[in-house]
Amino acid sequence: MSTKEINKLKNEYLEYLEIEKNRSQLTIRNYDHYLSRFFEWSKINSPVGITSDLVRKFRLYLNRNTNEKGETLKKVTQDYYIIAIRGFLTYLAKQDIPSLPSDKIELGKTQDREVEFLELDEVKRLISVTKGNNLSDLRNKAILELLFSTGLRVSELSNLDRTNINLKNGEFSIRGKGGKIRIVFISDSAKDTLTEYLKRRKDLDPALFINFKNPNKDTEKRSPSLLRLTPRSIQRIVKSCAIKAGIVKKVTPHTLRHSFATDLLMNGADIRSVQSMLGHSSITTTQIYTHITNKHLKDIHKKFHSKRN
């Protein structure tokens, strides 16, 4: 089998992810990158060439290799490569193509993820910097309010149209990762800001959040660029607001998603409900928050530790 043929199998696997598994284009591009790099490194031309020893050596390569700055690959990124290889092997088995069984490959043990989130007063400071009267400030305030109110992913926020939002009921459905639909809820504050923002919009563009030209000109007379804000644009807006608010933490849209989940759990929400609101497929993903959000632990320690004294 030639290199061209194993690349053909890789492309068929990527098509399988798109059609059968309904994976996002970003996921497919990432898997393409991980598998291509594995094939280029290993120089194999047949699935039979994938062995436990080869995968072990590839893992050593990933762990020891450094970039131009002398930095090694993060453990979580190394795992993404292995997950892609395991997925490819599972696909080969379904097609009755001989290769290494995917269950022969185990993921390495990784450290618990650190969750960066904002305290409530920091969220208030962040939103307070958008008090300007122009439409761009009102849009930015609506973005921040909606991110903290719903825990949306930045890609989900970017894809929202005006017709998606039900301001009367204060809720709407969103299609998240893997095409899964969930309900998210809008706080009264976010609802008020969105209502005012949409009232001030004079364009007919369907996108909820768009770019505006000449942000310093009169808001009622200037015309919008009619360009939907990209996830990258929203990230820049959030970062800029955080700098203006004097917040030293690295603040991204995902930080507000973490803050949303942390706020719910700290105020007594059960983890299953938070899992549902975040759109996590597995409860283990949501459990990254529990070690920082159990507000009762300190009180319990103080109340019961060394009672004999």
Would you say the pTM of this structure is higher than 0.85? no
Class of residue 200 by CB neighbours under 10 A (exposed 0-12, middle 13-18, buried 19+): middle
- For the annotated catalytic residues, the residue numbers are 153, 177, 254, 257, 280, 289
DSSP summary character for residue 66: B
* Element housing 227 (H / E): strand 224-228
d(CA 6, CA 12): 10
Per-residue model confidence as pLDDT tens for the chain (309 residues): 456 789 999 999 999 999 988 888 888 999 999 999 999 999 998 899 999 999 999 999 999 988 888 888 888 889 999 999 999 999 999 999 999 999 999 876 655 566 788 999 999 999 999 988 889 999 999 999 999 999 999 999 999 999 999 898 899 999 888 778 899 999 999 999 999 999 999 888 999 999 986 544 444 444 555 689 999 999 999 999 999 999 989 999 999 999 999 888 888 888 888 888 888 888 878 887 776 666 556 666 667 766 655
The structural domains of the chain, ordered by start, are 3-104 (1.10.150.130), 120-296 (1.10.443.10)
